[in-house]
Structure formats: structure tokens, C-alpha cells
Homo-oligomer: A and B are copies of this chain.
Amino acid sequence: MDEYRSQKVLITGGLGFIGSNLAHRLVQHRASVTLLDSLHPTCGGNRFNIEQIKNDVEVVVGDSCDLELVRKLIRNKAYVFNLAGHVSHVESMQEPFEDLQMNAVAPLTVLEASKLENREARIIYSGTRQSYGRPDSVPLVETQLLKPVDVNGVNKMAGEWFHMVYHRAYGIPAVSLRLVNSYGPRQLVRHARQGFVGWFVKQAIDGEEIQVYGDGQQVRGFNYVDDVVDALLIAGVNDKVKGDYFNLGGERAVSLEEFVKLLLKATGRGSYRIVPFPSDKKAIDIGSVYTSAAKFNFATGWRARVPIEEGLARTVEYYQRYREHYW
């Protein structure tokens, strides 16, 4: 990853889960890193996420939908990781216009700024497997239709396709990775609204009873955040991926029940219970789903490397150590 040395990099959503982990890695690679984050309460930004690198990065607190601000920030950048957004599926149904603002207007703002100021910057977008909705068949591959079942999935689909359009029309070297369930240090774990993974981690550490909806046999792919960061960094420097979209995929597909069992093993505490779906979650549930990352692997050689047992151990260790900053 020597390509990033001394390069100017902008990360939108840079104080969030993925963004801050990416920032740590880029600082290791001696990149010059600017983080843009709104620190909006419904987003995942947390200043403690960059505590260890706070003197090595520039932090701009501001809105990714602020075109003038983003124009100014993008001018001299070689790489832009376009990660700012809302990740809550349930909240996207309750506040659809806010979700649209954060997940469609925000990425479009970055692209428009790039069109106006800097068409050379590599732009790496964090799309989502959620945009596929309920799969007709698994593993999900990129030739399958996007049939989102919640507002978040629709807006993230739009956010991704703005990147494809700006690539084709203006030559802007953009790429979209469709993330699966990511987990690891620096994720918001305080409540369940941004997904079950962080919430389960907190409950397990607290020794509480985790509620698993449905029958617990829903399959998911989980990526440890270091694997996600690898994928983002690779996507930024590989010329074969420009103008295209790629699934990431878990190290292996596991059921929710198995995930919870592994998590409880890592904490040595807590318990779980299988309970029926609440109706608001059932309405947007996608069932069993895992993805193939073969297209991205073929283009770049990337694959998820961190076994789920190891990733969970590292995750639990992090939150036990820095608990007061996340609870």
C-alpha cells in the first residue's frame, strides 16, 4: 500500500466506524488524511475513534451535503473515501427524508464537487449488500437485480449509481464496494438502530441476554473491519475496478445463532434467546443472505482473511479496554 504514502486523502464519515479504522491504516501508510464528519447524533461518528491518531489527521466537522465545503476539501485530494451516510434500516423507514439526504444527496455532493473541482481523484464508495433486498438465490452475485426492501437500500443504490454515472459521463475514477455485515473496533454499539452486530457485542460484554429474531438460522456474511479497510485501500489503487461495483463477502457465511454463540464464547459472558420478529423489523427483513466476493477477488486478489473467531476476540478486547467511550 505504498501508493498512499504522502498522498492527500479525504474520508467523509471519517469519525465513523469504517472511516476511522481506514484513517488509522492510512496514517500508518504515511498518507495525509483529512476526515470530514458531521458528528450528527444519528450517524456513527465518535471523536474517540481517532484518539490514537488525533495529532496525525485533520478533522473537519461539517456536512457532506455542503457542496461549497466539499468543493474546498476535494481540490487537492488524490483519494476520496465516500463513506458518510446513515446505516440504519429501521430509522430509514421512520425518517425517510433524512436517510435520503445522508445516503443520496451526500454522495452526490462529493461527486458534484469532484466534477467541478477535481476529476482525477479516485473515489471509493461504500455501497451495501442491503440494496439487493431479499435474494432470489444465494450467494448474491453482481449480475443479480437490486431489489431493495427498505428506504436505506434504495438510497444507497442511488448513491452507488451516481458514482457509475459520474464515471461514465466525466471519467471520474469511482468504484463502489457493496459491504456486508462489518464488525470490529470503533463501531457504534450504544443502541441497536445501526444494526444488530454492535448491539450484540455490547450486550455480550455486559453479560445480558441477546435477543435473536426469527429462528436464528438466517445466514449472513461478516467482515472484520480490517478486511473491509483492505478492500477499500485496494479498490482505491487498482485500475481494473474503476467505474464498477463489487460485492465484498464474509470470511465465511454463518447463521445469526452461530454468530451469537461465537460472540458469547469470546466474551465468556451473556446468553441468548430466539424470539419472534417485531413487526417493523419483519417488514424489511431480507431473510438468509450471503454474497460472493469472487468478482472483486478476480479483479484484485482481495479476500476476507480474518477468521470470525479471531475478529470477535479482537473486537471484544477493544471494547473491554475502551468501554467508557462507547457505552
Contacts and interface: CB of A to CB of B under 8 A. Distances in A.
A148 B323 CA distance: 45
Contact of A145 (B93, B143, B165, B170): B143
Interface stretch (A15-23, A150-158, A187-195): A150-158
A147 B176 CA distance: 13
Interface residues of A, number: 30
Given A97-B105, A105-B100, A145-B145, A162 B151 contact: yes
A204 interface: no
Contacts of A164: 147-149
Contacts of A149: 164-165, 168-169
Contacts of A153: 161, 165
Contact of A168 (B108, B170, B283): B283
A123 to B, nearest CB: 15
A120 interface: no
A203 to B, nearest CB: 27
Interface in A137-186: 143, 145-151, 153-155, 157-158, 161-162, 164-165, 168-170
B154 A165 contact: yes
A302 to B, nearest CB: 23
A112 interface: yes
Contacts of A104: 100, 104, 158
Contacts of A151: 108, 162, 165
A154 B158 contact: yes
Given A151-B162, A161-B154, A169 B93 contact: yes
Number of copies: 2
A39 to B, nearest CB: 23
Contact of A148 (B112, B161, B284): B161
A93 B162 CA distance: 10
A100 B103 CA distance: 12
Given A97-B105, A108-B97, A165 B148 contact: yes
Contacts of A169: 93, 149-150, 283-284
A100 B146 CA distance: 19
A164 B132 CA distance: 13
Contacts of A150: 165, 169
Taking each of A147, A153, A158, A162, which has the highest tally of chain B beta carbons within 10 Å of its own beta carbon?
Answer: A158
Nearest to A168: B149
Interface of A: 93, 96-97, 100, 104-105, 108, 112, 143, 145-151, 153-155, 157-158, 161-162, 164-165, 168-170, 283-284
12 contacts: A96-B112, A100-B104, A100-B105, A100-B108, A104-B104, A143-B145, A149-B165, A154-B161, A154-B165, A157-B158, A165-B284, A168-B283
Query: Which 6 interchain pairs have the tightest Cβ spacing?
Result: A158-B158, A169-B283, A154-B161, A154-B158, A148-B161, A149-B168
